[in-house]
Amino acid sequence: MSQKMHFVTLIMASIRNKPGRNLATIFCFAFIAANIFSAQYLMAGAAGNAEKGISRMGADSMVVPAQYEVFIKGAQMGPATVNGIVRVEPSNFRVSNNIMDNIRKVPGISDMSPQLFVVTHAIPELSSSPVDIYGIDPDTDFTIRPWLHHPPEKILGPNEVIVGSDIAGEVSSQIVVSCQLYTIAGKLDPTQSSVDHSIFLRMDDAYSLAAYEANASPSFSPVAKGDISAVLVKAGPEADPEMVSARIQQPFPSSYLRVIGRNFALEPVSQEISGLPNLLNMISGVVVLASLPLIALIAAMVAHERQREIGLLMAMGAKRKIIFSLVMAESLVLAAIGGIAGIGTCLFIFSLLNSQVFLNSVLQITFITPQLTRISQMAGLALLVVIAIGSISSLWPAYQSSRMNPYDAIRGNGS
Partner 1 sequence: MITVNSVTKTFGEGTSEIRAVDTVDLEVQPGEFIIIMGRSGSGKSTLLGMLAGLIRPTAGTIRIKGLDINTLNDNQIAELRSQEIGFVFQFSGLIPTVTALENVLIPTLFCPNGPGNRETALGLLKQVGVADRADAYPGTLSSGEMKRVAIARALINKPSLLIADEPTGDLDIATESEIMALFRQLNSEGITIIMVTHNPDLIPCATRTYRMSQGRLKREPDSPSCPGEQRTRDENTDLR
Task: State the residues that interact with partner 1 by CB under 8 A.
Answer: 1-7, 9-10, 13-14, 16-17, 309, 312-322, 405-407, 410
Those residues with Cβ within 8 angstroms of residue 180's Cβ, 6 or more apart along the chain or in another chain: 159, 205, 208, 209, 212
Cα 175 to Cα 156, 159, 178: the distances in Å are 15, 10, 10
Closer CB to partner 1, residue 16 or residue 154? 16
From the CB of 297, what's the least distance to partner 1, in Å? 22
Closer CB to partner 1, residue 203 or residue 404? 404
Closer CB to partner 1, residue 296 or residue 404? 404
Closer CB to partner 1, residue 6 or residue 150? 6
Those residues with Cβ within 8 angstroms of residue 195's Cβ, 6 or more apart along the chain or in another chain: 83, 86, 87, 147, 164, 188
From the CB of 326, what's the least distance to partner 1, in Å? 10
Q: What is the 3-state secondary structure (H, E, C) of 284-329?
A: HHHHHHHHHHHHHHHHHHHHHHCHHHHHHHHHCCCCHHHHHHHHHH
Residue 228's φ and ψ, nearest 5 degrees, are: -140, 160
From the CB of 314, what's the least distance to partner 1, in Å? 7
Closer CB to partner 1, residue 18 or residue 52? 18
Residue 326 and residue 397: Cα distance in Å, rounded? 11
Question: Can you spell out the DSSP letters for 53-118?
Answer: HHHH---SEEEEEHHHHHHHHHTT--GGGGGGGTSPPS----EETTHHHHHHHSTTEEEEEEEEEE
Q: Apex CA 172: angle with CA 144 and CA 155, to 5°?
A: 45
From the CB of 26, what's the least distance to partner 1, in Å? 17
Q: Apex CA 92: angle with CA 90 and CA 96, to 5°?
A: 115
Closer CB to partner 1, residue 9 or residue 254? 9
Closer CB to partner 1, residue 17 or residue 361? 17
From the CB of 337, what's the least distance to partner 1, in Å? 17
Query: What amino acid is encoded at 192 in this protein?
Result: Q
Question: 55: closest CA among 278, 368, 362?
Answer: 368
From the CB of 389, what's the least distance to partner 1, in Å? 25
Closer CB to partner 1, residue 358 or residue 407? 407
Closer CB to partner 1, residue 150 or residue 321? 321
B/e letters for 211-246, b = 16+ CB within 10 Å, e = fewer, are: ebbeeeeeebeebeeebbbbbbbbbeeebebeebbe
From the CB of 315, what's the least distance to partner 1, in Å? 5
